[in-house]
Amino acid sequence: MTLFHSCEKNLYRIANTYVKNSNDTYDVIQETAYRTYEKLPELRNPKYFNTWITKITINCALDTIRKNKKMIMMEPEKVSTKAYYDLDIPLKVTVEQLLDRLNEKERTIIMLRFYYAFSFKEISEQLDIPYGTTKSLSYRALKKLKYFASKQELQ
């Protein structure tokens, strides 16, 4: 359980990105802890513990979303706009709003790749999809994000 506690904050962020509700997030973390404890003997290679527990967290979050049978919209984080004005950067859209426009698989790949620094190999193992598919989905998602961002800036 010490391993679990060492990555709990990271797991909370992952779960919250999906369910966007603190009560559901805590439920996801609790279910993740239970499944981790229950399936720990099935972990083949301890060096992949973080990857393994991240996959469990994502699956628990997706189960929660399905169970609630509601569409989860990612809300922009509450940010201090004063800090952005001081930087003289027009903030029209947040990363979360852009990510929300991607489909579930694309969003997961982008988050694992850029938020949590997973390699394409680790992502392909996590999501159980071919390595090449992981790369092409990532590049396609990045292209979409760039398009969405440029479209937002024109408005």
pLDDT digits 0-9 by tens, 137-150: 999 999 998 888 88
Q: Is residue 97 located within the same domain as residue 62?
A: no
The number of angstroms, rounded, from the C-alpha of 18 to the middle of its chain's C-alpha atoms is 6
* Domain ranges, residue 38: 1-72
pTM above threshold 0.85: no
DSSP assignment letter at 40: G
Q: pLDDT tens for residues 51-101?
A: 889 889 988 988 888 777 544 343 444 444 444 344 433 454 577 778 888
The domain total for the chain is 2
99: domain CATH number? Answer: 1.10.10.10
Q: Is residue 57 located within the same domain as residue 110?
A: no
Q: Rounded to the nearest 5°, which phi and psi values hold at 116? A: -115, 5
Whether the Cβ atoms of residue 138 and residue 120 lie closer than 8 Å to each other: yes
